[in-house]
């Protein structure tokens, strides 16, 4: 085991990450050391590095929460994993396991949870620590392909379930980036019809390629009426992955009566909610944050069965600042994945 490792470190919010050699962490009781093979780059990593959210990470820190690799060492008391096992390090690093949310199967709502790449160092490094009870057991060693499932995949899979749309019904997906292009595939595998919306024609082309039934530019002045026509009355479920307040407002207009709008994107600020429409149409507006360990296992199963396949763009850890610049410009189609070896 080497004494040091390469890592991308946030030393100041809103500044380029520093590529450094830092000590390899050692696993404590109940923990595993993961040799990271690949790590997806999520918009949340950019939010973390820029300090966008009210509760900010403590500086310095290593971002990353879509890490895949192999178990390199076991901490005391770990019995259900062994060295060499393929595992994934997801956003939910650990939770208390005792509160009402954990006991009720909603550990993602635990108020004492820790998050990879935010509250604890994450996977933009050659090694990372995972909690043995919370790391995902991967179905294969396709590390680059499976990395995006750990956040983009499970977040959209859970969000689709939260819309309560049934097979044969219509789901509108707003934002066809790293999350949205996987959401289309999950929705189709779950028996839903999909209308995809984005402001980029390239991303709409991606939407069609991965299975969207209809793809419409969100800036089209007739977008609401077009969705209503194509879905025969509006979408039963609306999933907003776009980091855009306008997309949130538009999502309410896209839903049919008794529809459910699920919000997963996290743009800064607020968006107006038309109370009259919400009441008269009996709409449900619901937030959805990643997914539980059970949700993650289900999301991975879809990928293992080749029903969901991330559009991956591999690059090196040294290029992380270029990747962040592309994310800021909305120029990433699919998911960029950092490959460590």
Q: Are 33 and 132 in contact (CB under 8 A)?
A: no
Write out pLDDT tens, residues 205-255: 999 999 999 999 999 999 999 999 999 999 999 999 998 999 999 999 999
Tokens of 140: 């294969």
Question: Quick one: fold of 4-151+291-339?
Answer: Quinone Oxidoreductase; Chain A, domain 1 (3.90.180)
Give the domain ranges of the chain: 4-151+291-339, 153-287
Write out pLDDT tens, residues 63-101: 999 999 999 999 999 999 999 999 999 999 999 999 999
176 pLDDT higher than 90 = yes
Place 15 in a pLDDT band, splitting at 50, 70 and 90. very high
Architecture of domain 153-287: 3-Layer(aba) Sandwich (3.40)
Place 330 in a pLDDT band, splitting at 50, 70 and 90. confident
Place 268 in a pLDDT band, splitting at 50, 70 and 90. confident
State the Cα–Cα distance between residues 105 and 107, nearest whole angstrom: 6
- HSE (side-chain half, CA atoms, 13 Å) at 239: 34
Mean of pLDDT over the chain: 97
Place 267 in a pLDDT band, splitting at 50, 70 and 90. confident
Place 9 in a pLDDT band, splitting at 50, 70 and 90. very high
Rounded alpha-carbon distances, angstroms, from residue 213 to 95, 155, 184, 208, 334: 39, 21, 9, 7, 18
* 3-state helix/strand/coil string of the chain: CCCEEEEEEECCCCCCCEEEEEECCCCCCCEEEEEEEEEECCHHHHHHHHCCCCCCCCCCECCCCCEEEEEEEECCCCCCCCCCCEEEECCEEECCCCCHHHHCCCHHHCCCCEEECCCECCCCECEEEEECCCCEECCCCCHHHHHHHHCHHHHHHHHHHHHCCCCCCEEEEECCCCCHHHHHHHHHHCCCEEEEEECCHHHHHHHHHCCCCEEEECCCCCHHHHHHHHCCCCEEEEEECCCCHHHHHHHHHHEEEEEEEEECCCCCCCCCCCHHHHHHCCCEEEECCCCCHHHHHHHHHHHHCCCCCCCEEEEEHHHHHHHHHHHHCCCCCCEEEEECC
- For range 320-332, the mean pLDDT: 94
Q: Between 320-328 and 43-50, two packed helices, what is the crossing angle to 10 degrees? A: 100
State the Cα–Cα distance between residues 44 and 264, nearest whole angstrom: 11
Contacts of 79 (CB under 8 A, 6+ apart): none
- For range 188-197, the mean pLDDT: 98
260 pLDDT higher than 90 = yes
Place 1 in a pLDDT band, splitting at 50, 70 and 90. confident
Question: CA 245: distance to chain centroid?
Answer: 18
Tokens of 36: 């990271």
Q: Are 275 and 299 in contact (CB under 8 A)?
A: no
* Burial bucket for residue 311 (CB in 10 Å: 0-12, 13-18, 19+): middle
341 pLDDT higher than 80 = no
- The residue behind tokens 């604890």 is 120
Place 316 in a pLDDT band, splitting at 50, 70 and 90. very high
Residue 266 is predicted with a pLDDT of: 86
Tokens of 15: 């500044």
3 pLDDT higher than 90 = yes
- Percent of the chain's residues with pLDDT above 90: 96
State the Cα–Cα distance between residues 67 and 279, nearest whole angstrom: 42
Tokens of 206: 């991606």
- Percent of the chain's residues with pLDDT above 70: 100
- The residue behind tokens 């040799």 is 35
Contacts of 273 (CB under 8 A, 6+ apart): 252, 285
Residue 269 is predicted with a pLDDT of: 82
Residue 305 is predicted with a pLDDT of: 96
Tokens of 137: 């057991």
């Amino acid at each position: 085991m080497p004494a040091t490792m390469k890592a991308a470190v946030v030393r100041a919010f809103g500044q380029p990450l520093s590529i450094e050699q830092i000590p390899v962490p050692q696993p404590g009781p109940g923990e595993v050391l993961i040799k990271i093979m690949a790590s997806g780059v999520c918009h949340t990593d950019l939010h973390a590095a820029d300090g966008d959210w009210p509760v900010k990470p403590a500086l310095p820190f290593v971002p990353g929460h879509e890490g895949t690799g192999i178990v390199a060492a076991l901490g005391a008391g770990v019995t259900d994993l062994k060295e060499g096992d393929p595992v994934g390090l997801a956003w939910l690093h650990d939770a208390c396991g005792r509160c009402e949310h954990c006991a009720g199967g909603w550990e993602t709502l635990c108020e004492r949870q820790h998050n990879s790449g935010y509250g604890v160092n994450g996977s933009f490094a050659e090694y990372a620590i995972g909690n043995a009870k919370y790391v995902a057991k991967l179905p294969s060693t396709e590390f680059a392909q499976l990395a995006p499932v750990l956040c983009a995949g499970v977040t959209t899979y859970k969000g689709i379930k939260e819309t309560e749309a049934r097979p044969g019904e219509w789901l509108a997906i707003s934002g066809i980036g790293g999350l949205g292009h996987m959401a289309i595939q999950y929705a189709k595998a779950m028996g839903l019809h999909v209308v995809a919306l984005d402001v980029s024609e390239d991303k709409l082309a991606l939407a069609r390629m991965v299975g969207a039934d209809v793809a419409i530019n969100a800036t089209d002045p007739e977008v609401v009426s077009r969705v209503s026509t194509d879905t025969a009355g509006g979408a039963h479920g609306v999933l907003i992955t776009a980091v855009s307040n306008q997309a949130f407002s538009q999502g309410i207009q896209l839903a049919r009566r008794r529809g459910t709008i699920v919000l997963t994107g996290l743009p800064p600020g607020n968006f107006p909610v038309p109370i009259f429409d919400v009441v008269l149409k009996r709409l449900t507006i619901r937030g959805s944050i990643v997914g539980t360990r059970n949700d993650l296992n289900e999301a991975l199963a879809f990928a293992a069965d080749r029903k969901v396949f991330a559009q991956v763009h591999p690059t090196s850890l040294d290029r992380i600042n270029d990747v962040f610049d592309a994310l800021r410009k909305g120029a990433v189609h699919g998911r960029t994945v950092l490959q460590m070896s």
